[in-house]
A = this chain, B = another copy of it.
Amino acid sequence: MAHDERRLQVLRAIVQDYVSTNDPVGSKALAERHDLGVSPATIRNDMAVLEEQGYITQPHTSAGRVPTDKGYRLFVDRLSAVKPLSVAERRAIERFLDGAVDLHDILSRTVRLLAQLTHQVAVVQYPTLLRSAVRHLEVVQVATARLLLVLITDTGRVEQRLVECPVDVDRDDVAELRALLNQTFAGAKLADAAGLVPDLLETAPPNLRRLIAAIGAVLVETLVEPGEDRLVIGGTANLAQVAVDFPGSLRPLLEALEEQVVVLRLISEVDTGGAVLVRIGEENAHEALSGASVVSVGYGSGERALGGLGIVGPTRMDYPTNMAAVRAVARYVGQILAES
Q: Tell me the A residues contacting B by CB distance below 8 Å.
A: 101-104, 112, 135-136, 138, 140, 142, 148, 150, 152, 156, 158-162, 222, 230, 234-237, 239-241, 243, 250-251, 254-255, 257-258, 340
Q: Are A258 and B235 in contact (CB under 8 A)?
A: yes
| Bound form: Cα–Cα A213–B142 in Å | 29
Chain B residues lying within 8 Å of A158, measured Cβ to Cβ, are: 150, 158, 160
Majority secondary structure of chain A interface residues (helix, strand, loop or mixed): mixed
| Bound form: Cα–Cα A243–B103 in Å | 35
Name A146's closest neighbour in chain B (CB-CB): B340
9 further interface pairs, Cβ-Cβ under 8 Å (given A101-B162, A138-B138, A162-B340) = A102-B160, A103-B160, A104-B230, A136-B148, A138-B150, A236-B258, A237-B257, A240-B254, A241-B251
Name A158's closest neighbour in chain B (CB-CB): B158
| Bound form: Cα–Cα A143–B195 in Å | 27
**Shortest beta-carbon distance, A312 to chain B, in Å?**
14
A–B pairs, 27, beta carbons within 8 Å: A101-B162, A101-B222, A102-B160, A104-B230, A112-B258, A135-B140, A135-B148, A136-B140, A136-B148, A138-B138, A138-B150, A138-B152, A140-B152, A148-B152, A150-B152, A152-B160, A156-B160, A236-B236, A236-B258, A237-B251, A237-B254, A237-B257, A237-B258, A239-B254, A240-B251, A241-B251, A243-B250
Name A251's closest neighbour in chain B (CB-CB): B240
Specify which of B135, B142, B159 is in contact with A142 (CB 8 Å cutoff). B135
**Shortest beta-carbon distance, A98 to chain B, in Å?**
13
Name A235's closest neighbour in chain B (CB-CB): B258
| Bound form: Cα–Cα A4–B105 in Å | 55
Chain B residues lying within 8 Å of A150, measured Cβ to Cβ, are: 138, 150, 152, 158
Chain B residues lying within 8 Å of A235, measured Cβ to Cβ, are: 258
Chain B residues lying within 8 Å of A136, measured Cβ to Cβ, are: 138, 140, 148
Specify which of B142, B148, B234, B251 is in contact with A258 (CB 8 Å cutoff). B234
**Shortest beta-carbon distance, A47 to chain B, in Å?**
35
Please give me the 10 A-B residue pairs with the lowest Cβ-Cβ distance, nearest first: A237-B254, A240-B251, A136-B140, A237-B255, A240-B250, A138-B138, A102-B160, A158-B158, A236-B254, A240-B254
Chain B residues lying within 8 Å of A236, measured Cβ to Cβ, are: 236, 254, 257-258
**Shortest beta-carbon distance, A205 to chain B, in Å?**
21
| Bound form: Cα–Cα A158–B102 in Å | 11
| Bound form: Cα–Cα A160–B230 in Å | 18
| Bound form: Cα–Cα A187–B40 in Å | 79
| Bound form: Cα–Cα A240–B251 in Å | 5
| Bound form: Cα–Cα A222–B105 in Å | 13
Name A159's closest neighbour in chain B (CB-CB): B102
Chain B residues lying within 8 Å of A340, measured Cβ to Cβ, are: 162
| Bound form: Cα–Cα A241–B248 in Å | 10
